[in-house]
Structure 1
């Protein structure tokens, strides 16, 4: 008999637990855009229908905005009763009834084609990619690497390309979540390139935000023949930075920067070849500014047969007067002495060989 009583009590406890669990599972929690009926006993002016905002707040008589989203009807009644008690009503009797349950929705905002609410289909779920596709997809000015999902008081950022990869777990959204697609900070930004490039002017800044000097010059169709890549400058926020393209080609360029490619200092510069060469006269200086004595002789057609290669002189005007240096070009050709580099304005004289 004692054992039977214990079994009966255990069965009753189990049934009671199952009933309570079933009731808890069926409890409706208020959410944004639900419509409720507020009844305040004995206060007909305070009784009314109220629609919750998308964030789950209700505007109530006397007490103003009250957060009811996420509460059961009983919890909502208790909260409103407590707010009215004392300052407004002596012994308030409040009831809250659900008039219309709103569809579960998320809000997609920002740089999408058709921003607005997206309904979560009944008996299923809605992920981030599907929500964005529902509003037409990302706008051209979107910043897909920075998509914010606000859920309650929490916020998290996602990269659209990464969440669309095969095998990636979907980002499941909940009712009331807000998706905010940021605007690309590089949209409608420019960089200016001036001077010795084929197409000087404004360049549209890449949406990726990545741009270096070499790429910018390529976008401007390259350097002209008279450009001096060694003296390219970059102006940013009033400051001017200089450096050789050979070492600064990958220097990062920012929106608003001004790149200037100057003309070579050696444009329209010459040396003079005199004496026993095939074509005496002016020799144009190379744009890169590098001209050695042997190359200069070659540009002048080479030595005549009577040239004295051991007594070639180079004259240069300096602050202290004319400087004359003699070279044995035969030794230079054989590598016995170093090449001698000329400067614009130098005069090279090749004397006649004496027998």
Structure 2
């Protein structure tokens, strides 16, 4: 009977995948093909929607959403709590209830997760598809969720992903350099996410350049950009410009005080720097 149960379950899963493929989108809570195949270990919780089927017993087929207590009302069994257990354990619990109640001798039960809302993370900022994404087995790593969200887009300040949430009852915040997750040296682990985490990719900081440059105005400040590189991004100096005596107006983040400095060409710039290139006297 095990092979029959497995065949029955795969057929139902294929139906769910087709439905999800037709309507899936960022933040919808619907599952992709890979997620549907890995959902057995997903821990059910309030708000999750499930599809229950019993082989050769269509009257016991049901689509239901877990209430705030993690329970559903199921034919013959009444109120049954599924919150806090995995999808596969939910199958066993319903099957045991039907068997122990002498309703069905050998019940073949299939439970499919069709809407995951209890275990989700939010992805915000400069990513391809901001929204809420479910955490299921195989999709609870930072790289997996970022892939579902379309990755970091152009205009982001860096490859830093800020993760905030709660760990052991205390506020939690971590910055992960996403490029180092895939570095050959493996300097940054692929962080494991938890329910309720928020991922944020910040907008790129800017600097402002005016005076004797070809293209004055704002420009994105990439990581480790030097004054010389910023001048190059601005198209270089005009015929009247000079590299001598370039002044940078820099605000102290702690005090808010603006200081005027004269950096070297190879010195790194800071966010919100205002660079003035003066006219040559000769």
TM-score range with shorter-chain normalisation?
0.3 to 0.5
Rg comparison, structure with higher value: 1
**What's the TM-score once normalised by structure 1's chain length?**
0.39
Higher relative contact order structure (alpha carbons within 8 Å, sequence separation ≥ 6): 2
**What's the TM-score once normalised by structure 2's chain length?**
0.48
